[in-house]
Amino acid sequence: MNLPERPSLETNRLILRPLDKADLPALFALHSDPEAVRYTPHEPWKTPADGEAWHARVTGNRESGAAIEFVLVLRETGVPVGTACLFRFNEPVGSAEIGYMLAPAHWGKGLAKEAVAALIEFGFETMGLKRLEAQLDPRNEASAKVLVRSGFTREGHQRRNYFAKGEHSDTGLYGMLRDDPRPGGHL
């Protein structure tokens, strides 16, 4: 998929900008936190080499058009506090999946919802997508609430269809169409 050149998005409190190698030390704190990565497919980073490998994978995905990763930076301080991405592009359908991750110190403050709103706007208005999807572990109730409050519809539940970190888990399926009503009045 042809992705826009190094886009930056802005919300009231966040800047979503392209990943830079200089972000890795701040992102190491996030990705090495077992609580932060509990519902992600990857193990906590143990060494800086884990971050280097992730950076190489993300950069390769960007260059191939397979994904676009953003760093969530607090507008007030310039400190990276998370990541967000669009991936699994399906060009014939005009869809993509969204993902996001936020440092636990910033949970419960509405920042994830701001980041998701920016991804929704970018996906539909800039990229011209027709559908956005999200998959999550249903035990991640906070993330499910972010999606629903952002306008996603819970579309399904798959039982024990996922295996990561030594355990089987279910998957909650969420979707949003371009013409679905969105919080804030966007259509």
Whether 176 contacts 132, CB under 8 Å: yes
Question: The whole model's pTM is what?
Answer: 0.92
Phi (first) and psi of residue 101, to 5 degrees: -150, 135
The yes-or-no verdict on residue 63 having pLDDT over 60 is yes
In this prediction, residue 91 carries a pLDDT of: 94
Distance CA 74, CA 9 (A): 12
Q: What is the pLDDT of residues 101-145, one digit of tens each?
A: 999 999 999 999 999 999 999 999 999 999 999 999 999 999 999
What are the CA-CA distances from residue 169 to residues 39, 135, 175 (Å)? 10, 12, 20
The gap between the terminal CA atoms of the chain, to the nearest Å, is 24
pLDDT at 184 over 70: no
Tokens of 95: 């869809």
